[in-house]
């Protein structure tokens, strides 16, 4: 489990040399790598990414974690894999980034609760896929459903700059609790899917996660 703890800790550190400052009524939090969050929740022995895959000669087609079907010749990626290996989708297409870069994403979150009926979040990211299209979705764990973080899919999508950095502010419909969280979804087809997340593992891949 040492690799798993290392990935979680690295993600939680946020930005080296950058310190977010909270105003009265605000709180600061860190996103973690989605693979690390998933692996802790499901008690894996290694960090397994259910949404990203690597070449595995001789591997047959099958169904991976989170019931994501993948083609033959690949398997779900692990944090212990070669960081220079290309990250792939479940259909075998390249995401245009190495595993090391994929697992290197990080982000911080400032939650403004000064208006409890319409809390606002400010998220800042680094290490995203340069120029990548991303969306923020609310994961509702008790219902096993998701929805655009803003409720209407008008404020929840953003593009990372050519350095892989991004900032976004979103007004929420209700406060976040342990029953829900925020998924940072990368769209590998470079298309935002509005109120829909997209095809998980094919053109929608959770890269970061925050859960209160």
Say what the pLDDT of residue 18 is: 46
Say what the pLDDT of residue 107 is: 96
Give Cα 180 distance to the centre of its chain.
14
Say what the pLDDT of residue 186 is: 97
Task: List b or e across 60-83, with b for residues whose CB sees 16 or more CB atoms inside 10 angstroms.
Answer: eeeebbeebebbeebbbbbbebee
Report yes or no: 35 and 41 within 8 Å, Cβ to Cβ.
no
CA distance 4 to 25: 33
Beta partners for 69? 63
Say what the pLDDT of residue 172 is: 87
Task: Report the candidate in 29, 7, 206, 8 with the shortest Cα–Cα distance to residue 124.
Answer: 29
Say what the pLDDT of residue 142 is: 67
Task: Give 10-residue mean pLDDT values along the chain (212 residues).
Answer: 41 43 76 95 93 96 94 96 97 95 95 79 95 94 79 93 96 83 95 92 96 89
- pTM for the predicted model, two decimal places: 0.88
Would strands 133-140 and 86-88 be described as parallel, antiparallel, or unpaired?
A: unpaired
3-class secondary structure, 61? coil
């Amino acid at each position: 489990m040492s690799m798993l703890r290392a990935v979680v800790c690295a993600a939680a550190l946020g930005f080296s040399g950058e310190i977010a400052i909270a105003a009265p009524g605000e709180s600061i939090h860190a996103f973690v790598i989605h693979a690390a969050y998933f692996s802790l929740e499901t008690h894996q022995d290694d960090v397994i990414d259910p949404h990203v895959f690597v070449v595995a000669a001789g591997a047959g087609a099958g169904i991976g974690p989170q019931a994501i079907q993948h083609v033959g010749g690949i398997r779900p990626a692990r944090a212990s894999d070669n960081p220079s290996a290309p990250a792939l989708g479940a259909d075998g297409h390249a995401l245009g980034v190495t595993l090391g870069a994929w697992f290197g994403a990080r982000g911080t979150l400032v939650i403004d609760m000064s208006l409890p009926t319409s809390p606002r979040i400010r998220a800042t990211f680094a290490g995203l896929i340069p120029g990548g299209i991303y969306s923020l979705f609310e994961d509702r764990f008790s219902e096993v459903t998701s929805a655009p973080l803003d409720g209407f899919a008008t404020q929840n999508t953003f593009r990372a700059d050519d350095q892989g950095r991004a900032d976004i502010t979103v007004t929420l419909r209700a406060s976040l609790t342990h029953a829900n969280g925020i998924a940072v979804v990368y769209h590998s087809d470079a298309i935002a899917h509005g109120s829909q997340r997209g095809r998980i593992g094919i053109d929608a891949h959770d890269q970061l996660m925050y859960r209160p």
